[in-house]
Chains A and B, each alone.
Chain A
Amino acid sequence: MSEQYDCVPEASWIPSERLKFVNRYVVERKDTCISCGLCGSLCPYGVHQRIEGHAKVLPPFNQRCIGPTCASNDFHCVSHCPTNSLSVRESETFSALGDVRWTTDMILATWHMAETGEMLPLDHPGNTGRAGGGFDHLHFKLGDVPEKVDYSEFSTAIDLNRRKSGERRRIAIPVYGGGMSYGSVSLHTMVARAKAAKAWGTYTCTGEGGYPAELVPFKENVITQIATGLFGVKEETIMRAPIVEFKYAQGAKPGLGGHLLGDKNTPLVAKMREAVPNTSLFSPFPFHSVYSVEDHKKHLDWISSINPQALLSVKVSTPNDVEMVAIGSYYAGAHIVHLDGGYGGTGAAPEIAKKNIAMPIEYAIPKVHKFLTNEGVREDVTLIASGGMRTALDVAKAIALGADGVVIGTAEMVALGCVRCGNCESGRGCPRGIATTDPVLFLQMDTNWGAQRLTNLFSAWRKQWCHLLASFGMKDITELRGRTDLLRYDAGEEVRA
């Protein structure tokens, strides 16, 4: 076992004031306030503050308020205010952020982890969503979660090549970044992801839109993708990639191929993809040269002959016969079988495809894991899952269901400040500058800031995994794989959270 990646980078606080715009509660101070300052001396959380020498108390720091439950405390500002000027109410903006899959709590928790690198307690509501099924109804039978653990005692590393031959590639955390193409996300976003991947000794992926020169310094940590449109695929990009990913289908639009709308196909994007600017670009479905496992093997052999060191990953979605696809890919020579479930992210996909085509990843993982085990090849293949893993606990649940590791995408976007408004696809793209090629909008995000936020997120996640392992008396995350006995399915749990 290589220890190379078992040392982890330091998380450090990164200022993120721009993401402090939404709070659970709003504290209001009426004009009748006489600026006596009593509230400031009462509140231990620092909601009310006055700058030394100023007459007026500053506007309340909403994000520090603990809400109406504070009424039972001696220091409750609302009941002590001599002029009854203070009130606390639920923030209406709070519920406008997020949805049942990515709840407001989950987005804010992810932002907190990305800002500080501090772990989220394993029973925090931000760990699970409210989608009424799948991961949100699966829960770990947690033992006693120790308050403090020595993180250096735990290994969260996984091997990506489990075959007997070929290059060993080991990543320090059981996650790597999913394919997001140049065009669907900004160059700053790509570089930030690559920097974080380098810091953690894991990988990120170029997606289908070519390999920008800015990523070359991180080439040891960048996977390149060959998808059906073959956009930006060149011999040199294959030569420099440690892992080459064949994308047959994407979970959010299985069987439909990819689609970059004309608006986002700026001249730079078009150059990278060797296409005409401002036209809509389609990646067809499927590879029109692959209609059998034999054809598929031919493609994998083709990559192997160009770059024998590269690991081969095959990304497929989750049809009824996903286990047959998985074993076919294995026998065709894939090192990594990557299942992408329907509820994952996308730059643009028909809404009808996201929910209705192909099964959720929660159902596909056990199906494939059990099948590969029965076929006797499970220990020779790396099973990677993606498509709707939002939090560290989702990742752990996927592993407990039978995956070796997980590919994430949306969680990284959220860490970079995504609010999941869902407008990545049209016009100028992401108004927050993450998933856009707009020359003005993408300047909103600084790559170093983004890289540190991602590093912090992984750091927080790793701490969560260590605490989880500790509660099960485990030391290595590979021990968790396939341990469905540690899970329970509970439809009522979400109500409590």
Chain B
Amino acid sequence: MYERYHIHVVPTLGRHKPVPKFVVRRAENCINCGKCERACVYGAHKRDANDPRKMAEPDSTLCKNCFRCVVDCPQRALSIKVNEEFKALGKGVWTPVRVSTMWNEAENAKIPVLGAGYRGNFSGPGYDAMWTDMSEIVRPTRDGIHGREFISTSVDIGRKPPLLRFDDKGSLLTRMGPMVDLPVPFLLDVSRITVSDSVLRGVAGAAKELGTLMVLPLDPMSKLNGTAPAELLVPLVSSVQELERVPPQVRMVEIFGSSDWKELLKAIKERRPGLLVSIRVEPSQELMTTVDDMAREADVLHVLFAESGMDHDGRYARDTMRQLHRHLVKVGLRDGVTVISSGGLAAAEMVPKSIICGSDAVTLETALLVALGCHVCDDCGGDCPSDLRSAPEDFVRCRVTNLCSAWRDQMLEMLGAMGIREVRRLRGETGRAIFQEDAHRDAFSDITGGGKVE
């Protein structure tokens, strides 16, 4: 029976107090008149529970920066400032706003909705320098999350034949290779992040909830205790001997794109013909000259960008992925191989944008940690502000599932706006995106100094 794909979410509070964007401060000249309590519609100002003659310290986590208390204070005793701790969140493309947005998404699984207009930069590096298209009057469109028309987010992982052959009776002659159908175009990937055993099991549980794959090193597989079925696991394998340790149910493995990949790929295919093999590659200009062989033989290319969103030459994934996609199209190899990209995916919109630039699917890495409360401070030493190592399994499963659900819903919104019915059609659809350099040139080339984006 047909079942519509649905992600079961459970709202899950964070384990630590959120980092508020603003800090409300009460100066000493407060006369405890209580006008602020009446002014605040969010309840940030309360009387002291122990001594009702006094006002308690304002609860900054409830402040939404409307300034009503500041206006109403007869003593000018209240001030609001931007929280330094908030400003210090994240780094690079992982901006403070993105990190805190992801915390909320992981908490309530909802699409972030706010009043008033856009309040950020005009554009930015990498994926921020592009906009997705939408369809106006003349193209039929779909009702995204309201679900009146179904939008598919499934993608196929594996090699696709260039064409299908049938015999006279109409039976399929073409031998189909192994294929994994993912309900969402993202995989969970802990191969490049450090996680504790409970976090590992939680992420595996989320992969099971979502029905998507989980990429992980080979050794920790034994620690999962069945939290995710082996069909969903993608272990990293670096030798034929290691292949022996891969359970028979596993459908895909990853190998490294080092010089001996060809022999290893051949050996794996001989021993386990039903296994998909993904090659991990480091994106760079050099890759364009070496990728053809891999694209011809591997089932999947897994392109690993840094968490800064950049490749080895310091170019953003937006440009490198477009170049790689165009190159593979030109040499006639793109449709055969599946391309998965990783790194620097710091917001929901980056998933469809990465797909537009040429990925079939992406993997979530640091995003998984942020879902748990990670500050992206890049210092995973002893005193983690969110104490990620101790995060319990259930908490991890729910938070990661929530984040993925919110991101999928936002992808549906974007697909709906574009009038696209399935995410497979988005791959490489650069015509349905607006790239800043093009729009800028078209609009401003007759303006002094306006030919090129700086």
Contact = CB atoms under 8 A, between A and B. Distances in A.
Given A349-B113, A487-B448, A96 B138 contact: no
A423 B115 contact: yes
Q: Which of A292, A387, A422 has the most CB of B within 10 A?
A: A422
A357 B137 contact: no
Contact of A255 (B64, B135, B353, B443): B135
A419 B115 contact: no
A285 B143 contact: yes
Contacts of B144: 256
A132 B123 CA distance: 7
B439 A359 contact: yes
B388 interface: no
B58 to A, nearest CB: 13
Contacts of A367: 442-443
Interface string B73-106: 0001001111000000000000000000100000
Chain B binding surface, main DSSP class: loop
A131 B122 contact: yes
B49 to A, nearest CB: 24
A489 interface: yes
A422 B113 contact: no
B116 interface: yes
Contacts of B112: 350-352
A286 B136 contact: yes
Given A59-B76, A428-B41, A484-B446, A255 B138 contact: no
Residue of B71, B113, B120, B448 most packed against chain A (CB within 10 A) = B113
B68 to A, nearest CB: 5
Interface string A313-353: 00011011110110011000000000000111111111111
A321 B144 CA distance: 21
Interface stretch (B242-250, B256-264, B320-328, B414-422): B414-422
B118 A96 contact: no
B133 interface: yes
Contacts of A71: none
B140 A134 contact: no
Nearest to A413: B116
Nearest to B120: A355
A124 interface: no
B52 interface: no
B5 interface: no
A320 B418 CA distance: 11
B412 to A, nearest CB: 10
A430 B114 CA distance: 12
Contacts of A224: none
A355 B70 contact: no
A366 B443 contact: yes
Interface string A58-70: 0100000000000
A489 B65 contact: no
Given A95-B82, A359-B434, A484-B446, A256 B65 contact: no
Interface stretch (A73-81, A98-106, A232-240): A98-106
Contact of B349 (A248, A252, A324, A356): A356
A133 B122 CA distance: 5
A226 interface: no
Contact of A420 (B71, B116, B414): B116
B131 A359 contact: yes
Interface in A432-488: 432, 435, 441, 484-485, 487-488
A432 to B, nearest CB: 6
B169 to A, nearest CB: 41
A168 interface: no
A193 interface: no
A354 B118 contact: yes
B79 A421 contact: no
B70 A22 contact: yes
Contacts of B139: 291
Given A282-B146, A422-B119, A352 B138 contact: no
B113 A363 contact: no
Nearest to A433: B68
A21 B64 contact: no
Contacts of A93: 67, 70, 79-81
A254 to B, nearest CB: 4
A424 to B, nearest CB: 3
A290 to B, nearest CB: 6
Interface string B43-73: 0000000000000000000001111101100
Nearest to A358: B134
B297 interface: no
A369 to B, nearest CB: 10
Interface in B435-454: 439-440, 442-444, 446-450, 454
A421 B120 CA distance: 13
A419 B112 CA distance: 20
B227 interface: no
B448 A357 contact: no
B114 A348 contact: yes
Interface string B191-231: 00000000000000000000000000000000000000000
A243 interface: no
A350 B113 contact: yes
Contacts of A353: 413-414, 417
Interface in A142-158: none
A423 B122 contact: no
B33 to A, nearest CB: 16
Interface string A282-318: 1011110011110110000000000000000000110
Contacts of B123: 132-133
A424 B22 contact: no
A425 B112 CA distance: 11
Contacts of A351: 101, 112-114
A164 interface: no
A136 interface: yes
Contact of A487 (B42, B118, B348, B447): B447
B170 interface: no
Contacts of A255: 134-135, 141, 416-419
A395 to B, nearest CB: 16
A262 interface: no
Nearest to A249: B136
16 contacts: A93-B67, A96-B81, A99-B120, A133-B123, A254-B134, A286-B141, A290-B137, A321-B138, A348-B113, A349-B114, A351-B114, A352-B413, A363-B440, A387-B117, A410-B116, A421-B66
Given A92-B80, A291-B139, A320-B431, 13 more contacts: A131-B120, A316-B137, A328-B138, A345-B116, A349-B113, A351-B112, A355-B131, A357-B134, A358-B132, A420-B116, A425-B114, A426-B115, A488-B447
Interface of B: 22, 40-42, 64-68, 70-71, 76, 79-82, 101, 111-124, 128, 131-141, 143-144, 146, 148, 347-349, 353, 410, 413-414, 416-419, 431-432, 434, 439-440, 442-444, 446-450, 454
Of all A-B residue pairs in the complex, the 9 with the closest CB atoms, nearest first, are A255-B417, A424-B115, A133-B122, A92-B81, A255-B134, A489-B450, A354-B118, A99-B119, A425-B115
